[in-house]
């Protein structure tokens, strides 16, 4: 295998140093979007962008953007990046290696004396995770003009709105008014990310090339019954919102398991009960549904059946309900020409990485609506992610970053790729 061009020691030093911000326990991190920890992480990464020779700034949507200008200012931009915000009980590699690997790509190119035809932008997108305001991909959707009407009014669990959090972070939502995404400005987007699943480890492969991203459907369901004394109301006369919710949750699990081998997944990850007392029949229950599939027709069919299940359970137990759609994205496939470039550069490295789909969504999902995109996955231990035990080896991360570097170099030195 040819020697690596990237500076692995510098890259892993950056990964280690960023992980100290919002550190929990020995290996975990908590950098919730637009928090003080998130701001500290962004400032540190900004300093590394500037050290790598980029102009760096924070846009109105709290995206951190580093710019290395190419020789042809009219050529569409090659964008690289990911995110540095985390889950509340997260790992140190999710998102971070995509941003820090991208910085390493630019720094290596500059040190080798390359002058790209097109401008390269490295982006740390704001709030990819979506855990704080229950709606992810905020920064990339803001950048690409895809925000929804109520985005700024969404509240976190402490009652802080996204508008207030942006202002505290140092961004003024009033600046949204003067921003308009320029169609065609970005030619391609490349993202390096840990797999967050067990496939690469099962194949004993350090890296993989992504074929596409499953389309996520996020719903918030609120079931309402009637509270009563747990000791005096007969079982046949109850309107138990938690019992109804439990039946729906079990039905979802059975629904997505029905077709053996299908990549469909369904999860209820958050649930709240009112009045939340041992001896009161639950009156109101709110829970989230996360339904994903790489085939939109199958996902839509599951959604239709799930809605019917909710209606039937509500009728059976005398409940009312509301359903709020938080996210609805169709599956998006990687550009063939980018996948081919990745395969060709991997072959020159003496590697033959497998192709695999992504169940989790990424910033690439939103970018796919405005430009071609490609992704590189890095093997992670036992497929663990969104957990302090998340781990990817320095060797595997270095290989993924080297492939990112070689593919980005190929693209920027072939300006006609974007123009033909």
Report the binding-site residues for Zn(2+). Answer: 83, 94, 129, 193, 386
Q: Which residues pair with 289 in a beta bridge?
A: 219
Specify the pairing of strand 284-293 against strand 215-224.
antiparallel
Cβ 116 vs Cβ 74: under 8 Å: no
Token pair belonging to 80? 């690289």
CB atoms within 10 A of CB 8: 16
Annotate 139-171 with DSSP letters as a single string: HHHHHTT---TTGGG-B-TTS-BHHHHHHHHT-
HSE-up of residue 15 (Cα within 13 Å, Cβ side) = 26
Helix extents (H) in 225-361: 241-256, 296-317, 336-348
Read off φ and ψ for residue 99, nearest 5 degrees: -75, -50
- Give the Cα separation of 282 and 225 in Å (integer): 7
**CB contact set of 199 (below 8 Å; sequence gap of 6+):** 208, 354, 356, 383
- Tell me which residue of 271, 302, 265 sits closest to 286, measured CA to CA: 271
- Give the Cα separation of 302 and 304 in Å (integer): 5
Q: Cis peptide before 275, with omega less than 30 degrees from 0? A: yes
Q: Is 87 exposed, middle or buried (0-12, 13-18, 19+ CB in 10 A)?
A: buried
Token pair belonging to 386? 């969104």
Binding residues, as ranges, are 83, 94, 129, 193, 386
Q: Is 234 exposed, middle or buried (0-12, 13-18, 19+ CB in 10 A)?
A: exposed
- Give the Cα separation of 270 and 282 in Å (integer): 16
Sign of CA dihedral 64, 110, 77, 358: negative
């Amino acid at each position: 295998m040819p020697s690596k061009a990237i500076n692995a020691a510098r890259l892993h030093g950056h990964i280690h140093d960023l992980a100290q911000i919002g550190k929990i326990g020995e290996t975990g991190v908590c950098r919730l979007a637009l928090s003080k920890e998130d701001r500290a992480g962004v400032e540190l990464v900004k300093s590394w962008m500037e050290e790598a020779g980029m102009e760096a700034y924070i846009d109105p949507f709290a995206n951190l953007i580093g710019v290395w200008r190419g020789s042809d200012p009219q050529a569409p931009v090659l964008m690289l990046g990911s995110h540095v915000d985390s889950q509340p009980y997260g790992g140190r590699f999710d998102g971070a290696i995509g941003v820090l690997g991208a910085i390493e790509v630019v720094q290596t190119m500059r040190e080798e004396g390359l002058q790209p035809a097109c401008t390269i932008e490295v982006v740390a997108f704001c709030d990819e995770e979506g855990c704080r305001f229950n709606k992810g991909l905020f920064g990339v959707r803001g950048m690409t003009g895809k925000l929804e009407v109520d985005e700024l009014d969404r509240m976190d669990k402490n009652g802080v709105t996204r508008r207030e959090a942006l202002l505290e972070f140092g961004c003024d939502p009033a600046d949204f008014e003067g921003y308009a995404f320029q169609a065609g400005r970005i030619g391609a987007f490349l993202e390096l990310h840990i797999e967050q699943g067990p496939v690469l480890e099962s194949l004993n492969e350090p890296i993989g090339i992504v074929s596409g991203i499953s389309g996520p459907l996020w719903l918030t369901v609120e079931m309402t019954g009637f509270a009563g004394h747990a000791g005096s109301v007969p079982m046949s006369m109850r309107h138990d919102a938690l019992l109804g919710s439990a039946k729906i949750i079990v039905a979802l699990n059975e629904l997505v398991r029905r077709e053996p081998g299908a990549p469909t997944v369904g999860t209820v990850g958050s649930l709240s009960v009112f009045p939340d007392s041992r001896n009161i029949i639950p009156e109101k229950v709110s829970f989230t549904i996360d339904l994903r599939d790489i085939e939109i027709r199958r996902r839509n069919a599951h959604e239709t059946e799930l809605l019917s299940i909710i209606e039937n359970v509500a009728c059976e137990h005398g409940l009312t309900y509301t359903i709020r759609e938080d996210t609805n994205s169709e599956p998006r496939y990687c550009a063939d020409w980018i996948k081919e470039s990745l395969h060709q550069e991997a072959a020159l490295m003496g590697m033959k990485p497998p192709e695999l789909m992504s169940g989790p969504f990424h910033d690439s999902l939103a970018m796919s609506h405005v430009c071609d995109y490609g992704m590189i996955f890095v093997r992670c231990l036992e497929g663990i992610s969104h957990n302090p035990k998340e781990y990817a080896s320095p060797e595997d991360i270095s290989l993924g970053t080297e492939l990112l570097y070689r593919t980005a170099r190929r693209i920027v030195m072939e300006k006609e790729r974007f123009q033909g």
